[in-house]
A and B are shown apart, each in its own frame.
Chain A
């Protein structure tokens, strides 16, 4: 029962370095999301995807890029990391939205520190 898997779980970067977070889901979900979680601010949506080959901006997209080349994978990239991107990142996925579900399935999170 893998569900949603994120790698890596922890990473420390220096300012200006780049990295990619990988999210993989095995539930055949259409929708995938990247959130960041910061103290006192809850979860904020960075980017999302409504299907293979599609991506769209969320609330806080600046400084991040994403790709969804395969339905099961959603990659989050930081081209030039900044200390303000220190956060815990969560990937989530869901079925097509309908009134009876709407549930998001989350990964365990990736803690990123930018020095």
Chain B
């Protein structure tokens, strides 16, 4: 089956530090890859996505590149802010044989940024 593995948190960084959250996946077929972010007390929201190999997704200073050879989709940001404190979920999506979207989530990585 499909699976997503994320680095365990929590990750604590000082403001303006460089962020990397690792994500690797196992999937049959050709998945699309996503990073979702969950701010405290809120639902998940899409941060960025990539739909094919070598695509780079980017949003709000965050980036992730779809690496098929290493089955990875690591999230990076050059300079984090306190407002980036949240839980980050890596996810993959494949078209199931039944014709619907099957999404598999990682366990989430909590990021805490301190001033």
Contact = CB atoms under 8 A, between A and B. Distances in A.
A109 B39 CA distance: 12
Given A31-B100, A50-B100, A104 B89 contact: no
A102 B101 contact: yes
A106 to B, nearest CB: 3
B51 A100 contact: yes
A24 B5 CA distance: 31
A55 B20 CA distance: 38
Q: How large is the interface on B (under 10, 10 to 19, 20 to 34, 35 or more residues)?
A: 20 to 34
What band does the interface of chain A fall in when counting residues whose beta carbon is under 8 Å from B?
20 to 34
A2 interface: no
Interface string A25-41: 00000010100000011
Contacts of B99: 50
Interface of B: 4, 32, 34, 36, 41-46, 49, 51-52, 89, 93, 95, 98-101, 103, 105-108
Interface of A: 4, 31, 33, 40-43, 45, 48, 50, 56, 90, 92, 94, 97, 99-100, 102-104, 106-109
24 contacts: A33-B103, A40-B107, A41-B107, A42-B4, A42-B89, A42-B105, A42-B106, A42-B107, A48-B100, A56-B98, A92-B43, A92-B44, A94-B101, A97-B93, A97-B101, A102-B49, A103-B46, A103-B49, A104-B46, A106-B43, A106-B45, A107-B43, A108-B43, A109-B43
